[in-house]
Amino acid sequence: MTLRFDINLSILFTELPLLDRPAAARAAGFTAAEFWWPFGTEAVPSDKDVDAFTGALDDAGVRLVGLNFLDDLSVGARGLVSVPEHAKRFRDSIDVAVGIAERTGCRNLNALYGNRIEGGSDLQQQEAALENLAAATAAASRIGATVLLEALNAIESPAYPITSSAAALAEIDRVSAATGATNLAFLCDLYHLARMDEDLFATIAAHADRFGHVQIADTPARGEPDSGALDFSALFKALTEAGYTAESGRGWIGLEYKPSTGITTDSFEWMESLS
């Protein structure tokens, strides 16, 4: 059984302009990539910008396997799903993301939940999340895509309310029960869970069947594997034994780390032991 590695080009090869990164990834041996929302804070980018983005992937021969809906990460936010005042912007981005996914064959669309609003109502945010995720899953279902919900760590994202696999899965269950959506899954970012001292092996053993995607970085500095404390050989073995593999139709592991030297091409030595 095999795992497949893709490269997150919103955090790697940042020494290059965004549209040059797919070619750099291909030159480094990668055939698949993922991105955060690639259009800044624009919910509806121009057709020219969308064409340039998908064209850069096509020209490089790199497959898109993961894409965020509008996330406002570029201005310090953590997604918009639960933020009532940005509901229209999030909804406007849905058709753009689904359209890109349809053009590229991407089938994983990540919906970052959003930060708590200071002085706001948790109930209102939960209602906004329900409505926005219902719209996202309905649109994604038209092309056979899955909407992902991710847990972040509270150290770096103290206002983000979903900081464990249990919290993410509970929200997925809540939305699925209310909407009937069957295409909502957990984005298991091992780095974020490790920063929260979650037992990664127990999470994998118990919930790998609910993983829509996996992302990795080492702890505590979010560097490449073997730059920190995690045993990735053991984690990869646990994932394959739990059935998270290419043969299952999943098995993508996104490299979402910050190179410890600051230079992307210096950060791939750990992969040599996998060949």
List active site positions. 150, 256
Three-state DSSP state, 28: coil
Three-state DSSP state, 3: coil
Q: Which residues pair with 146 in a beta bridge?
A: 108
User: What is the spatial distance between Cα 222 and Cα 103, in angstroms, rounded to a whole number?
Assistant: 32
Cβ atoms 113, 129 nearer than 8 A: yes
Q: Which residue has the tokens 């095999």?
A: 2
Instruction: Name the residue type at position 124.
Output: Q
Three-state DSSP state, 137: helix
Residues sharing a CB contact under 8 Å with residue 15, sequence separation 6 or more, in sequence order: 262, 263, 264
